Amino acid sequence: EVHLVESGGGLEKPGGSLRVSCAASGFTFENAWMIWFRQAPGKGLEWVGRIRSKVEGGTTDYAAPVRGRFTISREDSKSTLYLQMNSLKIEDTAVYFCSTGSPMGTFGDYWGPGTLVTVSS
């Protein structure tokens, strides 16, 4: 059974940095494209970015609001996905979800429960 669990969320000041993780199990992580989504409190869903499997280059795509500030990476030996968030803004406050399962990381087939990141002074 596919299992995804995010961790590392918390309170950070504007301009600060935070790294959230996603521990994966129940599938062959190294072959999977992985996705990050987010949802601001009371708002809709937003695609943050995705990372390809290493065999397909391990490259990343990002949404415009986070490009240049956020970095998605993976550690296949630990079946763990990361989202490094720098230069945080108040508008980055959201629940962050990791997801996988669809071809080429297009839609979210399996999701973790999410981790809340709050950016506030």
Partner 1 sequence: DIQMTQSPSSLSASVGDRVTITCRASQDIANYLSWYQQKPGKAPKVLIYDSSTLEGGVPSRFSGSGSGTEFTLTITSLRPEDVATYHCQQYDDLPFTFGPGTKVDIK
Cα dihedral 92/29/102/91 (nearest 10): 0
- Which of 28, 87, 106, 120 is close enough to bind partner 1 by CB under 8 A? 106
Q: Binding pattern to partner 1, positions 72-101, x when CB under 8 A?
A: -------------------------x----
Tokens of 67: 């490009």
Q: How far apart are CA 2 and CA 120, in angstroms?
A: 34
Residues in 18-57 at the binding interface with partner 1, rule: CB under 8 A:
44-47
Q: How far is the CB of 82 from partner 1 (least distance, A)?
A: 19
With CB under 8 A, what is the number of residues at the site for partner 1? 18
E strand segments, the chain: 3-7, 10-12, 18-25, 34-39, 45-51, 60-62, 70-75, 80-85, 94-101, 108-111, 115-119
Based on the shown chain and the rule CB under 8 A, indicate whether residue 5 belongs to the binding site for partner 1.
no
Instruction: Output the smallest distance, CB 58 to partner 1, in A.
Output: 17
User: What is the contact surface with partner 1 in residues (CB under 8 A)?
Assistant: 44-47, 61-64, 97, 102, 106-109, 111-114
